Amino acid sequence: MKERIIVVTEYFYPEERNDAILITKIVKALNNTSNNVEVICTSNLGNEKELDFINGKVHRLKSIDFKSKNIIFRVFKLLFLTFQLILKSIFFLKKEDKVFIVTNPVFLLPFMAFLKKIKKFEITLLVYDVFPENLIATNILNPKNIFYKFLKKVYDWSYKNMDKLIVIGRDMQEFIQKKVDYKKDIFLIENWCDHKKIIPMKKEDNPIIKKFKLENKIVFSFVGNFGLVQGIENLLEAASLVKNKKFVLLFIGDGAEKTKIEKFIKNNTKNNIIYAGKYPSKEENIFLNACDISIVSLNNSMYGLGVPSKSYYNMAAQKPLLYVGDKNTEIGKVINDNKIGWTCTPSNPSLLANLIDEICENEDSLIQLGKKSRETLIKYYSEEIILNKYIRIYNKD
């Protein structure tokens, strides 16, 4: 009889989020082996049809369809989704099962760690971000806060009760090893991108480039979430200090710092910053190609707490990377190990501006550097290579 692998997750097909797409691919890869894979999720199917390979094996639970930014409503939604997943797990999971979970919804982890003690199933945790430490990184809580200390004890205990831990970066691996007192095997399986879906295009043919008449500019783009840990203010200040007149900083996306970007643009006398708006994921080939250099940025506070998945999509689009963050984080190491871009210390606008000026002076090297970036993605971080690492974890058993 085939062993059951039960994936318990908030996001799954047909959600268009990166984590939903990645988890769906993982499930398909595991299903192609001798394993019997089923999914418990809170993603609604909507008007889409169930995927053939998983048809009849997805247990879709009721979700709440509202997108309020109010913190109380967001917490309530997380609690409701967690309750749904836990209730289903209590009656569905068996002792012989191998359970696979991710770090969202955030409240799921301690409940599953407790349920494991009762049901005695095996559990693997894929760590996308680290809670509650990310609350410190975003200045939501102070490390001396009593509530934070309580959360940390609960989640440290939960991590220590996982059978297997999967992390997506070397800095995260170091961080989690300390969190579990070096008593657990931690598997490093990086993020990836389906390079066959991202097709490099000539800059002059890109609709966004043509719309803003940037054909003769050196375009640095920041694509994705304008969050509190992305160092947006540092990028804006640096842009105002850049001397090269061909330089343009192009923002594409949305997030908490969008208002700050728009306000800065109004007051920026150099007119070298553009906000191009937000584009649907189905147009990723267009907005990923709308630049010469892709910027990835994280505050120092995020060391070990997450890896920007967009980096791999930027590489697939054949773009060199400018990483503003700790050079010892995963993306910093990918860039320096493979020589596909530059790294710069965060929170130092003048240093970043000087580096951008240097990059602009070597414009002729950007195309070749971009080609090397895509080659690195295909060689080390393609879908097939990374998914085989997940398969090997279960084939070892």
| Domains by residue range for the chain, with CATH | 4-192+382-395 (3.40.50.2000), 203-380 (3.40.50.2000)
Provide the percentage of residues in the chain whose pLDDT is more than 90: 83
How far is CA 35 from each of CA 9, 98, 162, 265, 386, rounded to the nearest angstrom?
18, 10, 21, 53, 18
DSSP states of 352-371: HHHHHHHHHHTGGGHHHHHH
How far is CA 332 from each of CA 69, 172, 307, 328, 338, rounded to the nearest angstrom?
32, 13, 10, 6, 10
Total Cβ atoms within 10 A of residue 107 = 17
Confidence of residue 147 (pLDDT cuts 50, 70, 90): very high
**Amino acid, single-letter form, for residue 323:** Y
User: Which tens digit of pLDDT belongs to each residue from 361-391?
Assistant: 999 999 999 999 999 999 999 999 999 999 9
Q: How far apart are CA 181 and CA 183, in angstroms?
A: 5
Count of alpha carbons within 13 Å of 103, Cβ hemisphere only?
A: 18
User: Which tens digit of pLDDT belongs to each residue from 115-132?
Assistant: 999 999 999 999 999 999
Q: What is the DSSP letter of 61?
A: P
User: Tokens standing for 44?
Assistant: 């609604």
pTM, entire model: 0.92
Helix (H), strand (E) at residue 235: helix 232-241
- Peptide bond just before 349 cis, omega within 30 deg: no
